[in-house]
């Protein structure tokens, strides 16, 4: 069975090792050194160069090396008949839950303002509003694997949690909103907004001036989904006007974030380098090997995405 790994910039040799550890019969090549493109039946991919997957005429399935698949569907030559699976993995979920809880707590405890006080050598324990977690309203855009798990963790910490998804949900401790009206209702009752949507034509640019205007003044934003969700030109005006009080961004339209980008130095923006959560080959390679076995035995591909919905 011939497998290609196309993940420029990732540790492809690590993936090769972990795949081989789980199935020593696989014949694994790392792009661009593919010995026989005509033999490749499965590909592991992360941000593959445009057209690269179209070179494999007998490709049966592509395994995204992340939860998102936008990096595949962006390729105009992506072979549309090929099945696509994404990562759903307890470690990836745990990493995102940790990131979201970390940054929600940071806002809840007014940490950005306390950091500024320390810089100015100011001791003032009264400067910040006292709110209990159940008085802090967190709104999560996207209630899938990651959004739902982050919401459950925040609800367990007693936060007032709401979430928005395409279809309504019934989740303990999370108020569910859906559709365009549901989005406005959620925004109106959100102090800390977390974006965990997939990037699709429907969600591109959703974090924009109009959305910010629907939040209570002074709300905070955490975007751990994709840079394409944010209209970058709308962010600094919203922060400077006070409509937003602080933002944490893990993802950007251009990654790495260019060194001269204004987000780096803005006092109300926290930048992290797209590492909210990272796929761990040690657990995900096993799932990929199982996925290959499922396709080979005529079963449904586990963790398959819907190519029409794009997630």
Binding interface with ligand OXD (CB under 6 A): 66-68, 87, 279
CA neighbours within 13 Å on the CB side: how many for 226?
Answer: 19
Contact between 132 and ligand NDP per CB under 6 A: no
Contact between 142 and ligand NDP per CB under 6 A: yes
Q: 52 or 67, CB closer to ligand OXD?
A: 67
Instruction: Judge contact between 84 and 61, C-beta under 8 A.
Output: yes
- Quick check: is 229 catalytic? no
Rounded to a whole number of angstroms, the minimum distance from the CB of residue 209 to ligand OXD is: 25
Site string for ligand NDP, 271-290 (x = CB under 6 A): ---x-xx-------------
> What does residue 236 show for φ and ψ, rounded to 5 degrees?
-65, -40
Q: 165 or 279, CB closer to ligand OXD?
A: 279
Contact range with ligand NDP by CB under 6 A, out of 21-29, 140-148, 152-160, 238-246: 140-148
- Quick check: is 266 catalytic? no
Rounded to a whole number of angstroms, the minimum distance from the CB of residue 3 to ligand OXD is: 20
Tell the burial category of 130 from Cβ atoms under 10 Å away from its Cβ (0-12, 13-18, 19+): exposed
32-37 long-range Cβ contacts below 8 angstroms, 24+ apart: 34/4, 36/2, 37/4
Contact between 67 and ligand NDP per CB under 6 A: yes
Q: Locate all alpha helices (DSSP H) within 122-255, ordered by sequence.
A: 145-156, 179-188, 209-213, 232-240
Residues labelled catalytic = 226, 274
Give me the residues that bind ligand NDP (CB under 6 A), please.
Answer: 66-68, 92, 96, 142-147, 164-167, 196-200, 202-203, 224-226, 250-251, 274, 276-277, 311
């Amino acid at each position: 069975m011939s497998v290609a790994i196309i993940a420029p910039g990732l540790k492809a040799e690590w993936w090769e090792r972990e795949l081989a550890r789980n199935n020593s019969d696989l014949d694994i090549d790392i792009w661009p050194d593919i010995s026989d493109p005509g033999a490749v039946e499965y590909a592991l991919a992360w941000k593959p160069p445009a057209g690269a997957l179209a070179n494999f005429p007998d490709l049966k399935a592509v395994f995204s090396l992340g939860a998102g698949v936008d990096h595949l569907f962006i390729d105009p030559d992506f072979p549309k008949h090929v099945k696509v699976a994404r990562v759903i993995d307890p470690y990836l979920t745990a990493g995102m839950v940790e990131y979201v809880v970390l940054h929600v707590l940071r806002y809840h405890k007014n940490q950005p303002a306390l950091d500024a006080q320390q810089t100015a050598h100011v001791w003032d324990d009264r400067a910040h509003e006292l709110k209990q977690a159940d008085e802090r309203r967190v709104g999560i855009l996207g209630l899938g694997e990651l959004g739902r798990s982050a919401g459950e963790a925040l609800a367990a910490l007693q936060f007032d949690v709401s979430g928005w998804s395409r279809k309504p949900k019934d989740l303990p401790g999370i108020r569910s909103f859906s559709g365009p009206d549901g989005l406005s209702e959620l925004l109106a009752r959100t102090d800390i907004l977390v974006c965990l949507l997939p990037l699709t034509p429907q969600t591109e640019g959703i974090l924009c001036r109009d959305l910010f205007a629907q939040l209570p003044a002074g709300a905070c934003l955490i975007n751990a989904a994709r840079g394409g969700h944010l209209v970058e030109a709308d962010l600094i005006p919203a922060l400077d006007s006070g409509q937003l009080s602080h933002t944490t961004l893990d993802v950007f339209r251009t990654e790495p974030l260019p060194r001269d980008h204004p987000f780096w130095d803005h006092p109300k923006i926290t930048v992290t380098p797209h590492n909210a959560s990272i796929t761990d080959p040690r657990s995900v390679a096993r799932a990929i090997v199982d996925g290959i076995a499922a396709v080979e035995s005529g079963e449904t591909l586990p963790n398959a995405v819907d190519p029409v919905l794009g997630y």
